[in-house]
Amino acid sequence: MFRCDFMGKDISELPLSSFFDGIYSMKDDIPNFKMLIGGKWREAQGGSQFDVHTPIDESVIARAQMARLIDVNSAVTAAQENRGIRDLPGIERIDIFNCAAGLLERHKDEFARVLQMEAGKSARDAAGEVEAVVHRLKLTMEEARRIFGDYIPGDWSHDAVGKMALVIREPIGVVAVISPFNYPLYIASTKMIPALLAGNSVVVKPSSSNPISALLLVRVLEASGVLEGSLNIVTGKGEEVGDALVKHERVGMINFTGSTPVGKRISQMAGMKKLHLELGGKGYALVLEDADLDLAAQKCVYGSFRFSGQRCDAVSAVLAVETIADDLCDKIVREVDRWKFGDPRDESVMAGPVINPAAAMRIHGMVTDAIEKGARLLRGGKYNGSYYEPTVLDDVPMSSIISQEETFGPVVTILRPKDEDEALEIARQSKYGLESCVFSRDFYRIWRVAKKLECGEVTVNDCPSHGVGYFPFGGIKESGMGREGIGYSIDEMTNLKTIVFNLEAGGLGKREQEAAMCKTGVPKKAGTWHENGE
């Protein structure tokens, strides 16, 4: 039986400095976090809470409030009634976020440790997530300065001659942010920050698995000067708190990242609200005959194992064409053996546990199903609590669940299509359409494959990676709608408004020749044939 090599250390207290005083109280040596509603850190009405477990050893590291409908209503009302951020000059909003960047940098080690404990991230992944938030914040501030619009002169259309329009971007109002467990700080920040910079007020609902880093981020933004009531956070179960936000009539937009089933439910419940849905994916890596196999093996393993495979852009199936499949498989196994999994507090560990034992059991169900249907297990295939062994499955049949569904665990799943066409057929039949990648040295081949793949992003000679969203990303089909990224997120969280000016009233603007002709007798329009032959 696979045993994780625990470091034998107790999970120490959350490393919170006095800066975070006031957002939690200690009970039985466990911090009980409050929620920010209408500018005050409060407990839920009725006072119920839920435990937050660390995936490292499943112990309870914190408690969070179990919000009720009345708390959700208070948060949305506060956001609706405190839309002062909309009228705050952009330059002052930038000042607030500059201050937030400084505070985040000052507290980055605390954030990284919290991420390690609440999400089970390796030291490198946790520090990387905090750095990505700071970097993304800075880039978003630059982009916010470009919330411009368009000037459209009307004289290129007969019905608009004498008019002009300004097309401006306006905040939507109240944006509900619902975020997942895998990047609990980064994903929440990529929604909150552009929403606020664009002048929206926000209600955030983080994942119940690990809400702490999002609560700390809200504290940072509050301390940086985000106006009272413009930013609120409620914690609690998705089916209750999330649902209530989605259905709330005063919420103007839902910005959601999470699984496809929940995303589908949201789209059914939301009514006429604006939606941005970043959902699940099945990232295929197509490795063609002329690929650099060393590079492909290294990237496929990295793409499958990074954060124990718990990434929407993970390499979720390797499509190795028959002629190179044996070679690629050998190289993949050698690469896998280099990866050290275990307690993420050990600095040499490259990937830690999955989010909880239930997730490990779900992954195991998919691995077992594939083996029963004929796949060959080359490495791993066992688990212990939340720790799933790094696993390699070869010759996985299309009838297996893992060939079609998102894995979200540390498994390299290898399928062996006979050629490029069959590989494309497998990828294109997927219900998901988030990302895929292709490994080849032939430009025309790469272009052909990239054009034929049905997804929001194709990466060439690397595994997909959203990074800080410098390149836009997002899904099609069951992977969602809308685009995330620097600038694109602001576009998603603003509405276009067209303001048309009739300039004739002021004696301005171009006039149609028709009108001019009445006075001059000059023919109606150049190039127009008149029946009387004029």
Minimum Å gap between C-beta 483 and ligand NAP is 10
Q: How far is the CB of 90 from ligand NAP (least distance, A)?
A: 27
The one among 57, 118, 278, 394 contacting ligand NAP by CB under 6 A: 278
**Alpha-carbon distance 37 to 23, whole Å?**
12
What is the closest distance, in whole angstroms, from the C-beta atom of residue 240 to ligand NAP in the complex?
Answer: 8
Residue type, 440: S
Name the 3-class secondary structure at 389.
Answer: coil
Residue showing tokens 């002709």:
517
* Among the listed residues 23, 96, 130, 262, the single contact to ligand NAP using CB under 6 A: 262
Residue from 205, 219, 273, 331 in contact with ligand NAP (CB under 6 A): 205
Q: Quickly count: other Cβ atoms within 10 Å of residue 24's Cβ.
A: 22
Q: CA-CA-CA-CA torsion for 239, 242, 247, 252, nearest 10 degrees?
A: -160
What span, in angstroms and rounded, lies between the C-alpha atoms of 170 and 493?
Answer: 9
Residues 283-322 that bind ligand NAP (CB under 6 A): 312
Choosing from 171, 173, 199, 242, the residue that interacts with ligand NAP (CB under 6 A) is 242
Write down the catalytic residue from 312, 329, 437, 455: 312
Residue 461 beta carbon to ligand NAP: minimum distance, rounded to whole angstroms: 22
For position 266 contacting ligand NAP by CB under 6 A, the verdict is: yes
Rounded least distance, CB 130 to ligand NAP, Å: 17
User: Is residue 406 involved in binding ligand NAP (CB under 6 A)?
Assistant: yes
Residue type, 174: V
- Which pair of structure tokens corresponds to residue 515? 């009108």
Q: Which position among 279, 297, 370, 468 is part of the footprint of ligand NAP (CB under 6 A)?
A: 279
Query: Which residue among 181, 186, 439, 488 contacts ligand NAP (CB under 6 A)?
Result: 181
The nearest distance, CB 184 to ligand NAP, in angstroms, is: 9
Q: Which one of the listed residues 278, 335, 405, 492 is annotated catalytic?
A: 278
- With binding defined as CB under 6 A, does residue 481 bind ligand NAP? no
Quick check: helix, strand or coil at residue 150? strand
Decide: is 253 part of the binding site for ligand NAP (CB under 6 A).
Answer: no
The structure tokens listed for 136 are: 């993304």
8 A C-beta contact, residue 328 and residue 416: no
Binder of ligand NAP out of 201, 207, 213, 413 (CB under 6 A): 207
> Is 312 a known active-site residue?
yes
CA Rg value for the chain: 27
Among 61, 185, 246, 321, binds ligand NAP (CB under 6 A): 246
Residues 6+ apart with CB under 8 A from 338: none
Q: How many residues are recorded in the chain? A: 534
- Per CB under 6 A, 58 contacts ligand NAP: no
Closest CA to 114 of 199, 17, 43, 18: 17
Residue 494 forms beta bridges with which residues? Answer: 171
Interaction pattern, residues 121-160, with ligand NAP; x per rule: CB under 6 A: ----------------------------------------
The answer to whether 36 touches 64, Cβ cutoff 8 Å, is no
Which helix (DSSP H) or strand (DSSP E) does residue 358 occupy? helix 357-372
What track of x and - describes contact with ligand NAP for positions 222 through 241 (by CB under 6 A)?
---------------xxx--
- Give the contact letters, 315-344, x = binds to ligand NAP (CB under 6 A), - = no: ------------------------------
Q: How far apart are CA 29 and CA 36, in angstroms?
A: 22
> Given the DSSP bridges, would you call strands 24-27 and 30-33 parallel, antiparallel or unpaired?
antiparallel
Which region holds residue 162: left if phi is over 0, alpha if psi is between -120 and 50, else beta?
Answer: left
Binding footprint of ligand NAP on the chain (CB under 6 A): 178-182, 187, 205, 207-209, 237-239, 242-243, 246, 257-259, 262, 265-266, 278-281, 312, 406, 408, 434, 475, 480
Q: Which residues are identified as catalytic?
A: 278, 312
